[in-house]
Structure 1
Amino acid sequence: MTNEHDDELAASKTAGFKVGEKKTLEEYQQLDANDESLNRWKASLGLGTGNTISDPNDPRKCIIKSLSLEVEGRDDITIDLSAPGSVDKLKEQPFTIKEGAHFRIKATFIVQHEVLSGLKYVQVVKRKGVRVSKDEEMLGSFPPSTTDKPVYEKKFQPEEAPSGMFARGHYNAQSRFVDDDDVTHLKFDWSFDIAKDW
């Protein structure tokens, strides 16, 4: 049974889109091995361009390492999500965003064991219990991390913080990293304040 939070964080579906059949890395590499254009496509995904760095003792397919808030002219605010207990502390340690500031979010993550298809970031923001926004960012599909490219970095679309007296205040948010197979790779609550200044 799903609850209200799960429904709010559901990723949008494209009408008529059907997730393709799962394949192992070896199956992808052998797929139409003589097709030159397909080989270029596989190379663009990074398949066969280095030794994968999967941890056999860690079953996770995608490990979100950090989230950063990038603001021009300021040092990045980075949240290390790989540190023990870091996700649990996010809601109790809000950070401040200056009203009207232009910013963007950057995620770093690793992929292991198999190709990750259609990774998305979904975020719901509430103020005093009322939803004020729901945003979704498609990050893409990624092959397992390799020694050549151990960590992926994805920058989201630029955003502008709301401004004005009514926009200032405390906000609670819930975020979810989910893929095309509706597998949740990370879900967490956090909070922030919109203020007159940093």
Structure 2
Amino acid sequence: MNMHFPGPRPATLLVADGHPLILAGLAALVAAEPAFTLAGQALDAHQALEQYAQLRPDLMLIDPCLPGGGIEAIGQVRALDPQARIVVLSAQDGVEDVHRALVAGAGGYLPKQSGFEQILHCLHQVAAHGRYLPPELAKKLAGRIQGNALSPRELEILAFLSDGKSNKVIAREAGIGVGTVKYHVNNILSKLNVSCRTEAACVALRRGLIHSY
């Protein structure tokens, strides 16, 4: 049985990141911290799920952009172990990125530019209490909850907008009428509190509604 309150013994930690150098750095960070013991390392989602099932660590630190699907891996780990304590360390810190990770089952979320002290603090908090968000991310998330969330169809249209596609092209690719596209575009502009399509794309990128790869 996986005990999530290890008491005096070090908490075991599984680290999953698709970048070998980052993975090595995180492993070194854990090795230097007496409160944690490195249980395993994973470079993709399949390895992460396999190692979690075998090792049953107290904590997992994971990149949501892990090859094979980091967000999906979080959901699979939580399905395997509903008490799993998971911290996300991500290059993205948009409010939608945070929301997706928390909905999938993460208990903590930090941007990758966080310092080692903040990473360790987050790990300690999630190990002890199950939850931790830096104040700035918690504030963003609160704003999302209070605001108007975009529907799945509006998110789809927003992705087309960000690619610079016209209403006519969007209608053809989405399989809907041009009038329906215009209706969704107006809703998107209103919900994002912007006045044009370009501004909508910029806000969406900043919030994590869409990503530029």
Q: Same fold (TM over 0.5)?
A: no
Query: Whose relative contact order is higher, 1 or 2, with alpha carbons under 8 Å and at least 6 apart?
Result: 1
* TM-score grouping bracket, smaller chain normalisation: under 0.3
TM-score between the two structures when normalised by the length of structure 2: 0.23
TM-score between the two structures when normalised by the length of structure 1: 0.24
